Structure 1
Amino acid sequence: MTTPTVHGTDRLELGEGIRWTDGRAVLTDILSGRLLSAPDDPAASLGLIARLPFPLGAVAPVEGRPGRWIAAAGTGICRIDDAGRVEWIARPEDGAPVPMRMNDGVADPHGRFWAGSMAYEATEDAGSLYRVDRDGRVTRVLRDITVPNGPAFTADGTVMYLADSARGIIRRYPVDPDTGDLGEPGLFVTLGSGSPDGMTADAEGGLWTAVWGTGQVHRYHPDGTLDRVVELAAVQPAGLCLGGPDGRTLLVTSARIGLPEPGPLDGAVFAARVDIPGAPAASYRPVGTADATIFADTR
């Protein structure tokens, strides 16, 4: 693979949720509520797609509705239309015992959307994982997570990886492709240092994860053994994806938040060429009532 280079001139506070979709990379700066697009020219600045008045963790495109997104944002799940307007689907973390926000989220290969929540102060076991089915129903599927990141899915959607970053672990769950129900988890990997953050799977079933606090990205074989380590010039890698026209560009976001003396590349987006491709971000595929109401064209 090539040495990572800086992609874009911006430095983000908490850059995460990067996804390759519709021929471009989109990402979030969580606490500023911004949805951004990465430039084709690596010497240009990021483009603003939408700005929300609350934190924005991650988005997935909505199939058949260009410019529309389903998002993990604020205290729940919302839609964002092509004018940046928001409509709530559910706010399950309203009224929680401690202040909460949504964090990472992704669509699976079967068209569902999954998103995790966490406490602003990373209160132990305060977080949850939610699933939005194609009919718009929102279900809390896991509790007692401190800082959920991912999830990431294998290409056939039958395996889900979920990090609990505060504990330094990634768990692996079997997924029923018809219902989205999760089976019993197994421990996939425990990191000796740093925290697993954003994740993605590649075409060979390998799992890539940004490792917060170490300046590294790891790739693991499907059996959990470490395959490679990518060094970055930023302490807090946060989100990643595999994109580009051939799926072989590793794109990594990073963060400046919490660093007493951020370096010049903390908060940058990085790009490197790799030999094993990934797939574009999966879309949320609403059906029935969800398609007719939540994602209807309201213009």
Structure 2
Amino acid sequence: MTAPAVLSTDRLELGEGIRWTDGRAVLTDILTGRLLALPDGPGAALDPITRLSCPLGAVAPVEGRPGHWIAAAGTGICHIDPAGRVVWIARPEDGAPVPMRMNDGVADPHGRFWAGSMACEATEDAGSLYRLDRDGRVTRVLRDVSIPNGPAFAADGTSLYLADSARGVIRRYPVDPESGDLGAPEAVAALETGSPDGMTVDIEGCLWTAVWGAGQVRRYRPDGTLDQTVDLPARQPAGLCLGGPDGRTLLVTSAHIGLPDPGPLDGAVFAVRVDVPGAPAAPYRPTAPAAPADRAGTP
């Protein structure tokens, strides 16, 4: 494992949602609504892809449609085309009792997209987890989560990892591969310092998580045993993925939001070489046109 390298000159307010796709890394600066790509060299700024007029949590590529994205944004889930035009699939958090926004999101190996919501003021138990199926239907699959982060999936798509960052807990849910229904969760890790944030799973089935507030990334074995810790020169690591040509580059975003005295690397994007690779981001694979705006089912 190498020492962390800084990958651009930018410092992000709330860098999240980093994904390796189509030979490059894309990421979000949530509260500014920006989708960005890593530059070719460390001495350059991040490349802008598009900017929304609302918070942008994370994206997944759309299979077979270069430049098209499914996004966790604003109060729901939308489609973004190469020109930056937005078509809303559903906005299930419109009209919630407290102001809400979408947070992290990812596509699973079966082609569905999953995204969490949270209260803008992190109100306890206000958040939910939503699933966008391949036919365009959006369903709330979990309620009463304060700050959902991840989600991340095992390679075969039969296990979902979800962090409730406010409670410092990472849970694993069995996933029915056909329906996407979730089974009963089990706790994988409970952090005593810092909060679990963005996550990814490597090819050995181990879970990597950024640890907000602790300046670390940690790798957990499937049984919850802490296997590795990577220290970073930024206090608020937020998102991560495994990428690069061989899948062995751990890419980590960070944030300077809320820090009264940000250091020179708070908000930077880092790279660390690791031994075990991961896979590129899974795409969303639609089977039909997107659902009408604000179509959302709740169990």
TM-score (ref. length: structure 1): 0.97
What secondary structure, in the 3-state scheme, does the structure 2 residue paired with 1:77 have?
Answer: strand
SS at match of 2:257: coil
Task: Determine the C-alpha separation between the residues in 1 that align with 2:226 and 2:40.
Answer: 32
In structure 1, the partner of 2:127 is: 127
Q: CA deviation at 1:44?
A: 1.0
Whether 1:229 and 2:229 are equivalent positions in the alignment is: yes
Aligned equivalents of 1:250, 1:19: Cα separation in 2: 11
- Paired with 1:187 and 1:224, the residues of 2 have a C-alpha distance of 8
| CA distance in structure 1 between the partners assigned to 2:219 and 2:273 by the alignment | 14
Letter in 2 for 1:55: P
CA–CA distance in structure 2, aligned partners of residues 6 and 27 of structure 1: 15
Letter in 2 for 1:221: R
Matched residues in 2 for 1:188 and 1:179: separation?
Answer: 24
Could you say which residue in structure 1 is the equivalent of 2:258? 258
Aligned to 1:117: 117
* AA at the equivalent of 2:288: G
Q: CA deviation at 1:43?
A: 1.4
CA positional deviation for 1:288 = 2.4
Query: Which runs of 5 or more residues in structure 1 are unaligned?
Result: 295-299
Matches within 5 A, 1:41-80: 41-80=41-80
1:141 CA drift (Å): 0.1
Structure 1 range deviating more: 40-49 or 111-120: 40-49
State the match for 1:89 in structure 2: 89
The structural deviation recorded for 1:40 is 1.8
Equivalent position of 2:141 in the other structure: 141
Give the aligned partner of residue 296 of structure 2: none
Residue 229 of structure 1 aligns to a residue whose secondary structure is strand
Measured in 2, the distance between the counterparts of 1:273 and 1:106 equals 23
Distance in 2 (CA, whole Å) between partners of 1:13 and 1:269 is: 11
Any idea what the Cα deviations from partners look like across 1:240-267, whole Å, max 9, x if unmatched? 0000000000000000000000000000
Query: How far did 1:97 drift?
Result: 0.2
Matched residues, number: 293
**Alignment correspondent of 2:30:** 30
| Map of 1:249 onto structure 2 | 249
The residue identity in structure 2 corresponding to 1:15 is G
The offset of 1:289, in angstroms, is 3.5
Match of 2:187 in 1: 187
Give the equivalent residue in structure 2 for 1:281: 281
Structure-2 separation of matches of 1:43 and 1:226: 34
Find the residue that maps to 2:290 and give its secondary structure.
Answer: helix
Q: Superposition pairs for residues 202-217 of structure 1, below 5 Å?
A: 202-217=202-217
CA deviations over 1:203-260 (Å, ceiling 9, x no partner): 0000000000000000001110000100000000000000000000000000000000
Deviation of the 1:42 alpha carbon: 1.5
Alignment of 1:145-160 (within 5 A): 145-160=145-160
Stretches of structure 2 lacking an aligned partner (at least 5 in a row)? 294-299
**Aligned-partner SS, 2:172:** strand
Taking only the aligned residue pairs, the percentage that are identical comes to: 80
* SS, match of residue 31 in structure 1: helix
Structure 1 segments (4+ residues) deviating >2 Å = 288-291
* 90-99 vs 34-43, which moves further: 34-43
CA RMSD of aligned residues (A): 1.0
CA distance in 1, matches of 2:52, 2:165: 25
Shift of 1:34: 0.1
> What letter corresponds to residue 106 of structure 1 in structure 2?
V
Determine if the alignment matches structure 1 residue 10 to structure 2 residue 10: yes
Cα offset for 1:23?
0.2
Quote the Cα distance in structure 2 between the aligned partners of 1:290 and 1:274.
38
